[in-house]
């Protein structure tokens, strides 16, 4: 375990200084860290800021010291879930993303709720802007997601019936995945469809999709996605499969059963996403997860860590101990996972602690802000940043071999 070594702490302090100086300059309007244009923006009416010379590198975490460079050296893509309005409005947020990420995903902007104000209309503004930002900066983009039991618009629940739901699903996938065909790294085609405690032999969650489309909704979605975008890697994404607990093991088995059935029936699928919302000083992660990844590899699937963060609600200690526990959890989780060559992509669910979803959905009992990500609220790299980067460095695999 190299978390918190002297060298790491020294680099970290230098970075803190460099970054806070930069943040102060940015705040004062004296420097702008790079071009701020998000997408073409031409028809948005938003003022276009001039493209500027590359920002002053934040010592120690940019260029060859960035996450994206260290990941690339080990055959990995890495990046964050992002929010288009923050990319548009916050120079330091956009600069951090540009500097560190080789792949992005929309935290919410590509979900049904965001794209579908009504049955007959689509709003692609944010999703388009995000893809343009990614392309302009040579960053890949994941699509998230085409089917989920949450984030379903009200009109859908009011309108969909067992007669029309399949068509509604297929035409959504055709329109959305079709619009971005050839430009998306991978789609989370189906998100969180397994819930063993709902009691079905196939493990499927009791959801509107199951009730309205039927027991073959997963197959319907994957086939539609392949038709719409033959190039995107089609992914099944889920949570609650990371820990050494019996519910997590049962869910891993149910997912593997589904994946094997899909293979047997030649349903197109290329990857499995392990969300990796982790808890510091909580459950143990280990052998069961590693077996799951190996089983996915044997099915010829890639494995993506799609939504990593570490909540610290089980750690009541002062901030230094909370941060150390979070960083340790990152390192201990990543080391064995990254040893498997099937793992090719690691994404974090947010850029800075300021914007983490955990403060809204899974907050600490004492209501103190969570510290789960790789950048603190002023975009200084956290101890976890260095723990993750060190874990990338320790990967024995070079360029995916």
Catalytic residues: 192, 307
Residue closer to ligand XIL by CB (options 107, 229) is 107
Q: Nearest approach, Cβ of 80 to ligand XIL (angstroms)?
A: 12
CB 83 → ligand XIL: shortest distance, Å? 8
The CA-CA-CA angle for residues 189, 192, 196, to 5°, reads 135
Q: Considering CB under 6 A, how many residues would be counted as binding ligand XIL?
A: 6
Which residue, among 330, 282, 274, has the nearest Cα to 302 in the 3D structure? 274
CB-based contact 214:163 (threshold 8 Å) = no
323 contributes a contact to ligand XIL by CB under 6 A: no
Report yes or no: 10 and 23 within 8 Å, Cβ to Cβ. no
How far, CA to CA in Å, does 321 sit from each of 18, 211, 324, 335, 359? 24, 46, 5, 21, 19
CB nearer to ligand XIL: pick between 60 and 240: 240
Report the nearest approach of ligand XIL to the CB of residue 275 (Å): 6
Q: Is 149 in the site for ligand XIL (CB under 6 A)?
A: no
Q: Measured from the CB atom, is 192 or 229 closer to ligand XIL? A: 192
Q: How far is the CB of 15 from ligand XIL (least distance, A)?
A: 27
Contact (Cβ atoms closer than 8 angstroms) between residue 79 and residue 141:
no
Q: Which residues contact 179 (CB under 8 A, 6 or more apart)?
A: 124
* Residues 98-117: x where in contact with ligand XIL by CB under 6 A, - otherwise, as a string: ---------xx---------
276 touching ligand XIL, by CB under 6 A: no
Contact between 337 and 343 (Cβ < 8 Å) = yes
Restricted to residues 28-87, the positions that interact with ligand XIL (CB under 6 A) are none
| Contacting residue, 100, 102, 191, 279, with ligand XIL by CB under 6 A | 191
Helix (H, G, I), strand (E, B) or coil at 154: helix
Which one, 100 or 275, has the nearer CB to ligand XIL? 275
Does 229 bind ligand XIL (CB under 6 A)? Our answer is no
- Per the structure block, which two tokens stand in for 324? 């150390």
- Supply angle C-alpha 119, 189, 257, rounded to 5: 130
C-alpha 199: how far from chain center: 29
Cis peptide before 145 (omega within 30 of 0): yes
Of 42 and 361, the one with the shorter C-beta distance to ligand XIL is 361
SS3 229: coil
Q: Which of 73, 357, 362, 363 binds ligand XIL (CB under 6 A)?
A: 357
Give the footprint of ligand XIL on this chain (CB under 6 A): 107-108, 191, 275, 307, 357
């Amino acid at each position: 375990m190299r978390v918190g070594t002297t060298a790491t702490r020294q680099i970290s302090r230098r970075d803190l200084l460099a970054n806070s100086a930069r943040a102060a300059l940015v705040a004062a309007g004296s420097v702008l860290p790079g071009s701020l244009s998000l997408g073409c923006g031409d028809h948005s009416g938003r003022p276009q800021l001039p493209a500027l010379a590359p920002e002053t590198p934040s010592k120690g975490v940019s260029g060859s010291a960035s996450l994206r460079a260290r990941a690339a050296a080990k055959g990995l893509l890495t990046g964050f879930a992002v929010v288009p309005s923050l990319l548009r409005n916050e120079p330091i947020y956009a600069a951090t993303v540009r500097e560190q990420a080789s792949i992005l995903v929309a935290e919410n902007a590509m979900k049904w709720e965001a794209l579908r104000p009504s049955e007959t209309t689509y709003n692609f503004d944010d999703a388009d802007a995000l893809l343009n930002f990614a392309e302009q900066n040579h960053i890949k983009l994941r699509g998230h997601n085409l089917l989920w039991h949450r984030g379903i618009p009200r009109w859908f629940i009011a309108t969909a019936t067992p007669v029309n739901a399949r068509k509604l699903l297929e035409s959504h996938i055709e329109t959305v995945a079709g619009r971005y065909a050839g430009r998306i790294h991978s789609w989370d085609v189906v998100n969180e469809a397994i819930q063993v405690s709902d009691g079905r032999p196939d493990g499927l969650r009791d959801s509107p999709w199951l009730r309205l489309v039927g027991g073959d909704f997963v197959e319907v979605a994957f086939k539609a996605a392949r038709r719409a975008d033959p190039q995107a890697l089609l992914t099944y994404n889920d949570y609650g499969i990371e820990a050494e607990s019996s519910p997590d093991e049962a869910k891993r088995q149910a997912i593997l059963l589904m994946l094997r059935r899909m293979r047997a029936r030649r349903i197109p699928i290329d990857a499995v996403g392990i969300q990796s919302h982790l808890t510091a000083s909580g459950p143990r992660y280990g052998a069961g997860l590693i077996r799951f990844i190996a089983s996915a590899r044997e099915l010829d699937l890639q494995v993506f860590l799609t939504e990593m963060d570490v909540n610290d609600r089980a750690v009541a200690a002062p901030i230094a101990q909370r941060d150390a526990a979070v960083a340790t959890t990152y390192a201990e989780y990543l080391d064995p996972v990254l040893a498997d060559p099937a793992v090719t992509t690691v994404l974090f669910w947010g850029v800075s602690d300021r914007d983490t979803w955990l403060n809204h959905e899974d907050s600490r009992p004492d209501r103190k802000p969570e510290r789960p990500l790789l950048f603190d609220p002023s975009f200084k790299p956290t101890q976890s940043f260095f723990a993750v980067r060190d874990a990338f460095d320790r990967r024995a695999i070079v360029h995916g071999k």
